Amino acid sequence: MRRLLGLSILLVTVLGIVSFAQRSPKSSTLEGKGITFFKGTFKEALAKAKTENKPIFLDVYATWCGPCKQLKRKTFTDAEVGNYFNAHYINIAIDGETAEGEELVRKYQIQGYPTLLILDKNGKLLTQQVGFVEPHILVNFGKRIVP
């Protein structure tokens, strides 16, 4: 009887853990939800934007920045945000404290992190947002340029 009770408790515990893991925000990132960021240089992203005739969504962040980490964890992993930005923009995230990032910080006169920029396919600044934003606010930000 004790053995059966022990197995029942173990089974319920394992099922609870599996169920929780499937609902956790981290699993949505693993399933491909959220923004897919271009892996390459800003120059390569510009070339892709011209080829695909899309504007660029640029996240300029710093590795030590708390609001930047919150954006990555909460907003960029949101399914609605991913669906919208992946369909309408070339998305790229660049550390503002790297050589490439410092160039962009100067060019676009970035004052703080995170700074979210929308650029046309030639790299001209169209609009920007500074600081953490909730998912629905980011989608509205993107819709200012591409409805």
Q: What is the mean pLDDT of the chain?
A: 86
Number of structural domains, the chain?
2
Contact (Cβ atoms closer than 8 angstroms) between residue 132 and residue 69: no
Shared-domain flag, residues 98 and 63 = yes
Average pLDDT for residues 11-31, to the nearest whole number?
Answer: 41
User: What's the confidence (pLDDT) of residue 147?
Assistant: 85
Q: Are residues 4 and 57 in the same domain?
A: no
Residues contacting residue 110 through CB under 8 Å, at least 6 positions apart: 60, 96, 104
Range of the domain at 71: 32-143
How far is Cα 31 from Cα 54, in angstroms, rounded to an integer?
A: 25
pLDDT tens digits, one per residue of 67-126? 999 999 999 999 999 999 999 999 999 999 999 999 999 999 999 999 999 999 999 999
Instruction: Tell whether 56 and 118 lie within a shared domain.
Output: yes
- Is residue 53 located within the same domain as residue 76? yes
What is the structure's pLDDT at 32? 61
Report the C-alpha gap between 107 and 2 in whole angstroms.
70
Two structure tokens written together for 130: 């500074």
- What's the predicted TM-score (pTM) here? 0.77
